[in-house]
């Protein structure tokens, strides 16, 4: 959810060009009227940063950057300022209720309660403020025979998201008539006759495609009563998608219609004669339809009606795939679009699906608007690996659709479409009528959450509306009588999708987990714009995102019934931000947020011209032309004077009463502001006293009654604690130094001169023992129990016998000789055992030989033990030397 940066920017304050942009002219009679017609109020539209607003019967154009620059340059100037807007003259005399700009930016639809006009918008470069004369753009009336005052009222006018030109308008009237207009400014007949006209009441009762369920051109007066006349009164309509790559293929071609009584219907596919397809639409639909056909025809679990629908979808997709698409350039310089022709084998008007009923059934009032979030495309059937899905850059989302309904009781119902809406047509022959019994089952929408945005105010007379967010499709804005609310579904999208997309082996306990998840769901709700009083009645807000405009990159803008602009600047959210991440990591994050309050808007009575000067001027003209009395003369007690005083009192009393009420409201606000300011001063003073009491500063007043007890002499205590901490630190440092000295004495003491010399001797002995006899090595001698080393390169034979190395080599030679002798003796014994000799001589000789061998082995063991001991001692000395 975006963070609120600023409320009510100064360039929209009273007296600025931005404020005057929304105000009617002084001679406009509709200035005093704030009456609201029953129906949606969408009197603000935008094309990028260009803003269009309806003021009375005229349309004004401006740009946010122009209004901001003009407001900042006009600060402190009392001179008359030039208006920073252009007036677009539009035909028609009824008050404008809705404005909407086509996706191409070429057309502006101007709707009243019963009529619809389309104006051809000039380019941004052709609009300038040098000439103050109004502009009269080329305009056409849409449906001059059907959208008239005598016909049912207009409910909505929306643009089709899959129109290649972006100029396909869909109008929906109160009597459930839907008309699709493929507008072309070079062909006037496209404004007179619709390309498709559907009467939903006829379509709901139709049985085959061959019936006539087109909307009539003129209003029919029926003498009989039909329940559909009450139950099928249209409240709002919208398309299920915006033509994005990450949306389900059927969503963008699905028209959703909400009725006043609470029923919701869907019409899919509802397409113009030529439509464009996103890159994922045809592949995803083809994969899903083919797999569904295989499942239905592989087993007996599928019904005949399901097979019929699957065959119809396969036929429709086959006709589309067989075409050679036309490539046209996309809007705003984007990649080319592939344009197809609507198939003709199936009817252009699909079956009406519904009514969708909410389960459980909530207690709500009259529906005023509908908003649908399309389910995400099935990436598993569309892509082979996750890398392909990541390369497209599709956003993670929910695999089921979200339907939001708002009511006149300021409630928003968030529902889930678990079954999904796919293309369906009526049977082509009457032989298939028996299968329609299965279609009589009422489809349900799972009511997930109900948001109460009323705040205790009575908004039953206000028509609540939705506005899409330009940053996230799982976020929207709801305009209520008490303000504009921001609603974000991101906190529970990921957790719910993980449960819905769990593999088959993880279904154990999924019911319990879903119940816990649904009970703990919490949609984020914020209030960017707060309005006080039910008389505000703001028009549907618009959200504009443009990173190129300084300080107005993301703005939510609306205006009240008295044409006062109200706006809030939002922070542009990061695309990689986690939904649970905090807005900032500053040191003041833990402080409580200030109370959100509506900004003060001066009452219109302060800016209206007084009526008494005009009355006085009329009396003066009456006197100048020979009236009954002279208004400029002396005051005389007469009937004429009493009459004039009475009329003056009547005018003055009404004006002073209105000024008194507005002044009283301003006085109360000033009193509240002063009391809150005093409370903040007292809180700051109390906090300062507490800080001073802790820090030991005695420069604060005496102890107040009922206030927390202040501590005196805190500085001395703090200094004592700091000094004790320093002393303790020094004590610890001394103990550490003593431990370091002790450790050096145990194992890290430096070697003495004798120890170093002994280490060198050990190294020399080790080298002399391991060296080859032919290599030069030192000679080790044992003299008086001391080892001496001789560095002669070639020692003599006599000296070699007395050295340790010589003795070691001698022992090795003796060991080898004795080992050879023992081997020879053993062989001889084995040979003599084969022949039988004299037992005694043999036994005696064998005992002698065994004794000699035992002596030899004892000598070998002694010499081996001696060598091992010397080697072990040398190793220990080397380790100690290191």
Distance, CA of 540 to CA of 562 (rounded, Å): 14
Report d(CA 411, CA 674) in Å as an integer.
35
Between 430 and 29, residue with greater pLDDT = 430
DSSP assignment letter at 332: G
- The answer to whether residue 594 is domain-embedded is no
Stretch 847-872: mean pLDDT: 81
Instruction: Kindly state the helix (H) or strand (E) to which residue 820 belongs, with its residue range.
Output: helix 804-834
Residues 408 and 492 in one domain: no
Angle at 305 between CA 302 and CA 308, to 5 degrees: 100
**What CA–CA distance (Å, rounded) separates 684 from 686?**
5
CA 338/CA 358 separation, integer angstroms = 38
Are 374 and 432 found together in one domain?
Answer: yes
More confident residue, 859 or 233: 233
Could you tell me if residue 185 is inside a domain? no
Q: Which residue has the higher pLDDT, 796 or 110?
A: 110
Number of compact structural domains in the chain: 5
Pairing of strands 443-452, 352-359: parallel
Name the token pair of 555. 């703005």
Listed residues 447, 473, 492: the one ending a domain: 447
Identify whether residues 441 and 463 lie together within a single domain.
no
- Indicate whether 286 and 421 sit together in one domain: yes
Residues 458 and 431 in one domain: no
Name the 3-class secondary structure at 764: helix
**Does 331 have pLDDT greater than 90?**
no
- The residues that bridge with 723 in the sheet, in sequence order, are none
Q: What is the pTM of this model?
A: 0.72
Last residue of a domain, one of 104, 122, 141: 141
Q: Which residue has the tokens 């001073």?
A: 692
CA distance 495 to 614: 67
Answer yes or no: are the C-beta atoms of 259 and 174 closer than 8 Å: no
Q: Which residue has the higher pLDDT, 26 or 387?
A: 26
What value does the CA radius of gyration of the chain take, rounded to a whole number of Å?
48
- Neighbouring C-beta atoms of residue 359, cutoff 10 Å: 13
Q: Which DSSP string corresponds to 12-26?
A: GSTTSHHHHTTSPPT
What average pLDDT does range 705-726 have in this prediction?
Answer: 73
Cβ atoms of residues 98 and 157 within 8 Å: yes
Give phi and psi for 485, each to the nearest 5.
-110, 140
CA–CA gap between residue 701 and residue 377 (Å, rounded): 69
Confirm whether 670 is domain-assigned: yes
Q: Cα–Cα distances in Å, from 694 out to 66, 710, 723?
A: 53, 8, 17
Query: 């029923």: which residue's tokens?
Result: 263
Which H/E stretch holds residue 385? none
* Mean pLDDT within 640-662: 84
Strand partners, 479: 465, 484
Residue 236 pairs in a beta bridge with 258
- Higher pLDDT pick, 880 / 694: 694
Specify if 708 maps to a domain.
no
**Are 482 and 629 members of one domain?**
no
Give a yes or no: residue 312 inside a domain.
Answer: yes
Domain interval for residue 133? 1-23+43-141
- Omega of the bond prior to 355 within 30 degrees of 0, cis? yes
Report which of residues 859 and 38 the model is more confident about. Answer: 859
Instruction: Flag whether 733 is in a domain.
Output: no
Write out pLDDT tens, residues 470-480.
988 999 999 99
Specify if 772 maps to a domain.
yes
Do 397 and 314 belong to one domain? yes
* pLDDT for position 198: 93
Q: Are residues 443 and 457 in the same domain?
A: no
The yes-or-no verdict on residue 585 having pLDDT over 60 is no
pLDDT of residue 838 exceeding 60? no
Taking only the tens place, the pLDDT of each residue in 731-775 is 999 999 888 888 776 655 566 778 778 888 888 877 776 664 544
**Strand order in 196-199's β-sheet?**
154-159, 168-173, 177-182, 196-199
pLDDT tens digits, one per residue of 502-542: 665 455 656 666 677 777 778 899 989 888 765 567 888 89
What's the CA gap between 404 and 78, in Å, rounded? 48
| Closest CA relative to residue 118, chosen from 95, 92, 93 | 92
DSSP calls for 691-759: HHHHHT---S-PPPTTSPPPPSSHHHHHHHHHHHHHHHHHHHHHHHHHHHHHHHHHH-PPP-HHHHHHH
Burial of 876 (0-12, 13-18, 19+ CB in 10 A): exposed
User: Average pLDDT of 602-619?
Assistant: 78
Which of 430, 447, 464 is the last residue in one of the domains?
447
Phi and psi, residue 752, nearest 5°: -80, 180
The verdict on 501 and 616 lying in the same domain is no
The C-alpha atoms of residue 443 and residue 358 are separated, in whole angstroms, by: 9
Look at residue 651 and tell me whether its pLDDT is greater than 80: yes
Domain-located, residue 88: yes
d(C-alpha 162, C-alpha 251), whole Å: 11
387 and 310 share a domain?
A: yes
Backbone angles phi, psi at 582, to 5 degrees: -70, 160
Helix ranges (DSSP H) in 580-705: 612-624, 639-695
Nearest Cα to Cα of residue 251 among 406, 390, 417: 417
8 Å CB contact between 235 and 155: yes
In total, the chain counts a number of residues equal to: 882
* Contact indicator for 771, 777 with CB cutoff of 8 Å: yes
Do 765 and 871 sit in the same domain of this protein? yes
Residue 571 pLDDT class (50, 70, 90 cuts): confident
612 and 528 in a common domain: no
- The set of residues, in sequence order, having a beta carbon less than 8 Å from that of 234 and lying 6+ positions away, is 155, 172, 173, 174, 175, 176, 200, 257, 258, 259, 260
């Amino acid at each position: 959810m975006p963070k609120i940066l600023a409320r009510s920017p100064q360039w929209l304050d009273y007296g600025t060009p931005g404020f005057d942009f929304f105000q009617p002219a002084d001679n406009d009679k509709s200035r005093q009227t704030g009456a609201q017609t029953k129906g949606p109020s969408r009197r603000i539209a935008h094309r990028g940063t260009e803003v269009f607003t309806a003021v009375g019967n005229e349309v004004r154009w401006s740009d946010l950057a122009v209004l901001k620059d003009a407001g900042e340059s006009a600060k402190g100037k009392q001179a008359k300022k030039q208006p920073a807007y252009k007036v677009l003259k539009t035909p028609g005399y009824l008050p404008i209720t809705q404005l909407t700009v086509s996706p191409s930016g070429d057309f502006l639809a101007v709707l009243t309660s019963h009529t619809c006009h389309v104006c051809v918008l000039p380019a941004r470069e052709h609009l300038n403020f040098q000439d103050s004369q109004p502009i009269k753009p080329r305009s056409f009336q849409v449906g001059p025979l059907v959208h008239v005052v005598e016909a049912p009222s207009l409910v909505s006018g929306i643009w089709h998201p899959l129109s290649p030109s972006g100029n396909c308008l869909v109008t929906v009237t109160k009597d459930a008539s839907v008309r699709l207009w493929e507008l072309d400014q070079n062909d006037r007949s496209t404004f007179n006759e619709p390309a498709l006209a559907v009467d939903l009441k006829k379509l709901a009762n139709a049985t085959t495609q061959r019936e006539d369920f087109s909307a009539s051109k003129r209003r029919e007066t029926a003498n009989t009563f039909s329940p559909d006349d009450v139950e099928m009164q249209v409240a709002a309509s919208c398309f299920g998608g915006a033509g994005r790559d990450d949306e389900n293929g059927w969503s963008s071609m699905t028209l959703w219609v909400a009725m006043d009584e609470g029923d919701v219907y869907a019409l899919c596919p509802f397409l113009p004669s030529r439509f464009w397809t996103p890159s994922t639409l045809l592949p995803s639909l083809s994969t899903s339809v083919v797999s569904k056909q295989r499942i239905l025809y592989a087993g007996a679990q599928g019904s005949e009606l399901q097979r019929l629908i699957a065959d119809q979808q396969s036929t429709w997709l086959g006709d589309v795939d067989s075409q050679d698409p036309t490539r046209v350039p996309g809007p705003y310089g984007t990649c080319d679009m592939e344009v197809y022709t609507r198939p003709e084998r199936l009817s252009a008007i699909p079956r009406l699906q519904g009514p969708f009923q909410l389960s459980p059934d909530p207690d709500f009032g009259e529906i005023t608007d509908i908003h649908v979030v399309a389910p995400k495309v099935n990436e598993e059937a569309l892509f082979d690996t996750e890398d392909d899905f990541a390369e497209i850059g599709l956003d993670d989302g929910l695999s089921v659709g979200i339907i939001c309904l708002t009511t006149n009781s300021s409630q928003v119902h968030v529902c889930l479409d678990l079954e999904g809406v796919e293309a369906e047509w009526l049977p082509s022959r009457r032989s298939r009528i028996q299968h329609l019994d299965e279609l009589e089952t009422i489809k349900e929408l799972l009511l997930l959450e109900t948001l109460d945005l009323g705040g205790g105010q009575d908004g039953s007379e206000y028509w609540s509306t939705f506005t899409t967010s330009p940053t996230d499709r799982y976020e929207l804005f709801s305009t209520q009588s008490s303000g504009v609310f921001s609603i974000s579904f991101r906190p529970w999208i990921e957790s719910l999708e993980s449960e819905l997309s769990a593999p088959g082996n993880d279904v154990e306990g999924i019911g319990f987990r879903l119940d816990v998840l649904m009970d703990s769901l919490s949609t984020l709700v914020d209030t960017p714009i707060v309005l006080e009083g039910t008389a505000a009645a703001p028009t549907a807000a618009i959200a504009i995102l443009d990173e190129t405009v300084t300080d107005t990159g993301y703005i939510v803008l609306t205006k009240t019934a008295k044409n006062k602009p109200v706006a809030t600047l939002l922070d542009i959210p990061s695309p990689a931000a986690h939904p649970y991440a905090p807005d900032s990591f500053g040191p003041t994050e833990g402080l409580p947020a200030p109370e959100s309050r509506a900004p003060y808007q001066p009452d219109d009575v302060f800016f209206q011209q007084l009526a008494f000067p005009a009355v006085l001027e009329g009396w003066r003209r009456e006197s100048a032309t020979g009236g009954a009395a002279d208004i400029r003369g002396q005051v005389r007690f007469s009937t004429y004077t009493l009459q004039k005083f009475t009329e003056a009192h009547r005018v003055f009393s009404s004006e002073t009463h209105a000024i008194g009420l507005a002044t009283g409201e301003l006085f109360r606000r000033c009193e509240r502001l002063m009391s809150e300011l005093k409370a903040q001063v007292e809180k700051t003073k109390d906090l300062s006293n507490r800080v001073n009491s802790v820090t030991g500063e005695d420069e604060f007043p005496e102890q107040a009654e009922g206030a927390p007890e202040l501590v005196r002499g805190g500085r001395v205590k703090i200094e004592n604690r700091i000094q004790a901490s320093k002393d303790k630190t020094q004590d610890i440092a001394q103990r550490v130094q003593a431990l370091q000295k002790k450790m050096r004495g145990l194992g890290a003491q430096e070697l003495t001169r004798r120890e170093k010399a002994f280490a060198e001797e050990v190294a020399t002995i080790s080298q002399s023992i391991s060296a080859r006899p032919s290599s030069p090595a030192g000679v080790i001698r044992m003299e008086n129990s001391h080892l001496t080393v001789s560095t002669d390169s070639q020692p003599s034979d006599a000296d070699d016998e007395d050295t340790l190395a010589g003795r070691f080599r001698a022992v090795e030679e003796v060991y080898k000789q004795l080992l050879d002798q023992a081997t020879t003796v053993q062989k001889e014994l084995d040979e003599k055992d084969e022949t039988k000799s004299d037992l005694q001589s043999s036994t005696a000789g064998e005992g002698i030989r065994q004794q000699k061998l035992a002596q030899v082995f004892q000598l070998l063991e002694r010499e081996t033990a001696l060598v091992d001991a010397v080697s072990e001692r040398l190793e220990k000395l080397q380790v100690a030397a290191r």
